[in-house]
Chains A and B, each alone.
Chain A
Amino acid sequence: MTVKFFATLKLKLGVASVEVDAEPGLSVGQAIKRAEQSTGRSFWSDIFDKQGKTFPGGMVLLDGANIAHQNGVDTPVGDAETISVFPPAGGG
């Protein structure tokens, strides 16, 4: 599946996305850890607090649906194709 990076995270990593292997049952959190390994840079703590919740203004979307309204980082990726990762951002 594709893990896409946005906002300051995209600028920091210098890549828009990476492909990770996602077997059935893999969680969103595990997929993001694999994406971290693939980029060679750690960014988990830019997105999640100690409890694994996204910071206000940050978000993780599984095929567009926010994992905050599913099972958080434990949400299984299922047959989704994309994870979108946003660090805290906002505007209006």
Chain B
Amino acid sequence: MAFMGTMLRVNLTDGTIKKDPTPIELAKKYVGGRGLATRLLMNEVDPTIDALSPDNKLIFATGPLSNTNAPTGGRYMVITKGPLTGGIASSNSGGEWGAYLKKAGYDLVILEGKSPKPVYLSVMEDDVQIKDAAHVWGKRVPETTDTLIAESGQKKAKVSCIGPAGENLVMFASIMNEKHRAAGRTGVGAVMGSKNLKAIVVHGNKKSPIPDPNAFRDLVKGKIATIKANGITGEGLPKLGTKVLDNIINENGMYPSRNFQDVMYDGTSHMSGEALVEKGYLKRNSGCYMCPIACARNVELPNGRKGEGPEYETGWAFGPLLGFHDLNVICDANFLCNDLGLDTISAGVTIACAMEMYEKGYIKKEELDNGPELTFGNSEALPYYLYKMAYREGIGDKLAQGSFRFATGYGCPEFSMTCKKQELPAYDPRGVQGMGMSYAVGNRGGDHVRSYLIAPEILGSPEKLDPQAVEGKMQWLFIFQNLTAVIDSSGLCLFTSFALGADDYADMLNAATGFDLTTAQWLEAGERIWNMERNFNLLAGIGPETDTLPRRFFDEPAQRGPNKGKVHRLPEMLPEYYQLRGWNADGTMPQAKLEALGIE
């Protein structure tokens, strides 16, 4: 079983709350979490609607392995139509909130309409209520979290909420749970804000029903042992977290700096994961629900500020990408974004875009209202413009739309480092051909976690591929996209896949659900999810012409390092990718493909 069997349907317009049976029969085809929620969104929402209108729906979804003792079984997904790309928005978060939604008795929450006033949803097992949120509207994430936990009367209650950025409809606002954990990307926080929904508070004590709990426990023990024995998940991630990548990616000549104008950054060692330890800022590591890896960093700065992070992407977006490497500034900006509910990647890349435009004369000094100059290396600019974005003040109002709309407004979209209008993460496509393709064809736009080809192309896991090779890469991309869809939908963390393979996930899913599907059938479910998301985008008007990268990566060769002279070779790979997917040569989707995968 593994499912609680009930989902909540909350209409915020009229305040009705319904408890519907979870359509478990769909789980054989769509697994749960990301897959099942996208299926329901497709059934219920017209992909062409305005993402911030009451017609949109916002779905919080757990997977069958959430709230089990499977390693990392605490994750959840937020699925909606996104404001940033205009296509499928889908964001994953860790912590404990996902497990606690199931402990309260529910697999999913579907939020419809728009509340006439700020509210939050309280889910205390059978007692589910929409409550007034006037007193926390406008408040930052930590204060909101503490206030609502106190109000629930349950010390262990978990809060998922938006900050001021979500309220102000910043197009890359995040949803934060347990203060530091983010459903960060694709602007899901803006959709929550558009519904006048500040938070969802969950608590309960229910267990997920597992057909044979003893057999499941034994199975899971073996998977945990595999994770602990792996060099990446057993040693590298616990000791240094994701920030260990700074030097790795820089030394490999693909660490973008100054808005991707350069592919390396000279001050990396001053702000790297190693520096965080050597400077004594890192106090300890910690983990999400049932996580044997524990990659989270707990940091305390010399100024006394404490918090979690920064992750690799954040450290890069708030440092080298902007031309500086002050770890204090980087960490503080990370804390600020968590408090305000801003996606750190999109925020940093948008500021980098503005810096390049300012240096090149597209933005005039008068537009900055006496604010710090938007020049690379000026660390003073970072917290100032983050704040301006979140509150949509001055030029921050335009920055809050993300770099694509911002740069297009000045007639220079070429400075926006985005795919499908979402900002790119911290791997330069000129240095890693497969990962570049992953950005270009990603269903949620520029993004690294939907097919993390850095694992084979750079880290050599599960085997080492040449990052500059193009032959055979699309087969890897195909498999990684499908497998990741299964992992996300199951309720587990993607980092387990450094140690576990497709058979391991199939084993755990079968044992938890009682289904008897082969690994190939689970992977086919992943393929079905990928195609369904693509179909949502096509119906939303995001066509194959968006399967590309910013011009910079084709026209401006890398200037130094091991990839000197290299550009991205997308035209050599895209036709093969379409062919492997079984799509038409122009990237459109034949009806027969949808039928073959059983997508209604």
B162 at the interface (CB under 8 A from A): no
Kindly report which residue of chain B lies nearest to residue A8, judged by CB atoms. B239
Set A10, A55, A58, A91: member contacting B274, Cβ < 8 A: A10
B459 at the interface (CB under 8 A from A): yes
A24 at the interface (CB under 8 A from B): no
Beyond A56-B231, A56-B232, A59-B248, whether A92 also contacts B241 by CB under 8 A is no
Instruction: Count how many chain A residues have C-beta atoms less than 8 Å from C-beta atoms of the other chain.
Output: 28
- Cα–Cα, bound, A92→B236 (Å): 12
Contact A7 B460 (CB under 8 A): no
Contact A87 B231 (CB under 8 A): yes
In chain B between 237 and 295, which residues have their CB closer than 8 angstroms to a CB of chain A?
237, 239-245, 247-248, 251-253, 269, 273-274, 277-278, 295
B452 to chain A, nearest CB (A): 5
Contact A57 B274 (CB under 8 A): no
Contact B460 A56 (CB under 8 A): yes
- Cα–Cα, bound, A68→B561 (Å): 17
- Cα–Cα, bound, A16→B449 (Å): 31
- Cα–Cα, bound, A58→B463 (Å): 11
Contact B235 A64 (CB under 8 A): no
- Cα–Cα, bound, A58→B448 (Å): 20
A26 at the interface (CB under 8 A from B): no
- Cα–Cα, bound, A54→B461 (Å): 11
Contact B232 A88 (CB under 8 A): yes
B466 at the interface (CB under 8 A from A): yes
Kindly report which residue of chain A lies nearest to residue B562, judged by CB atoms. A64
Chain B interface category by residue count: 35 or more
Kindly report which residue of chain B lies nearest to residue A14, judged by CB atoms. B278
B295 to chain A, nearest CB (A): 7
Contact A68 B247 (CB under 8 A): no
Mark interface residues in A31-60 (1 if CB within 8 Å of B CB, else 0).
000000000000000000000001111110
Specify which chain B residues have a CB less than 8 angstroms from the CB of A84 in the assembled complex: 247, 251
Beyond A56-B231, A64-B251, A90-B244, whether A8 also contacts B460 by CB under 8 A is no
A63 at the interface (CB under 8 A from B): yes
Set A4, A10, A54, A65: member contacting B460, Cβ < 8 A: A54
Contact B248 A88 (CB under 8 A): no
A89 at the interface (CB under 8 A from B): yes
Contact B449 A7 (CB under 8 A): no
Mark interface residues in A68-92 (1 if CB within 8 Å of B CB, else 0).
1100000000000000101111111
Contact B240 A7 (CB under 8 A): yes
Set A16, A56, A61, A65: member contacting B459, Cβ < 8 A: A56
A-B contact count (CB 8 A): 121
- Cα–Cα, bound, A68→B563 (Å): 16
Beyond A7-B274, A57-B231, A58-B460, whether A88 also contacts B251 by CB under 8 A is no
Specify which chain A residues have a CB less than 8 angstroms from the CB of B464 in the assembled complex: 54, 66, 68-69
Beyond A11-B277, A56-B461, A59-B460, whether A86 also contacts B248 by CB under 8 A is yes
B494 at the interface (CB under 8 A from A): yes
- Cα–Cα, bound, A88→B235 (Å): 8
Beyond A56-B460, A57-B236, whether A7 also contacts B247 by CB under 8 A is yes
Beyond A59-B248, A64-B253, A90-B455, whether A8 also contacts B235 by CB under 8 A is yes
By CB atoms of chain B within 10 A, which of A55, A56, A65 has the most? A56
Specify which chain A residues have a CB less than 8 angstroms from the CB of B232 in the assembled complex: 56-57, 88-90
- Cα–Cα, bound, A22→B561 (Å): 21
B292 to chain A, nearest CB (A): 15
Contact A11 B237 (CB under 8 A): no
Specify which chain B residues have a CB less than 8 angstroms from the CB of A7 in the assembled complex: 236, 239-240, 244, 247-248, 273-274
- Cα–Cα, bound, A63→B311 (Å): 27
B495 at the interface (CB under 8 A from A): yes
Set A10, A63, A87, A92: member contacting B495, Cβ < 8 A: A92
Contact B242 A92 (CB under 8 A): yes
Contact A92 B452 (CB under 8 A): yes
Contact A89 B240 (CB under 8 A): yes
Contact A69 B466 (CB under 8 A): yes
Closest 8 CB pairs of A and B: A88-B231, A91-B242, A64-B562, A89-B236, A90-B232, A57-B232, A56-B461, A89-B244
Interface residues of B (CB under 8 A from A): 230-233, 235-237, 239-245, 247-248, 251-253, 269, 273-274, 277-278, 295, 311-312, 448-449, 452, 454-455, 458-464, 466, 494-495, 498, 561-563
CB-defined A-B contacts under 8 Å, sample of 8 = A54-B464, A56-B231, A59-B459, A59-B460, A61-B562, A89-B231, A89-B459, A92-B245
Could you list 17 further interchain pairs (A-B, Cβ under 8 angstroms) beyond the known A7-B240, A57-B231, A89-B244?
A: A6-B247, A7-B236, A7-B239, A11-B239, A16-B269, A56-B462, A57-B459, A61-B251, A61-B562, A64-B253, A88-B230, A89-B232, A90-B459, A91-B236, A91-B295, A91-B312, A92-B242
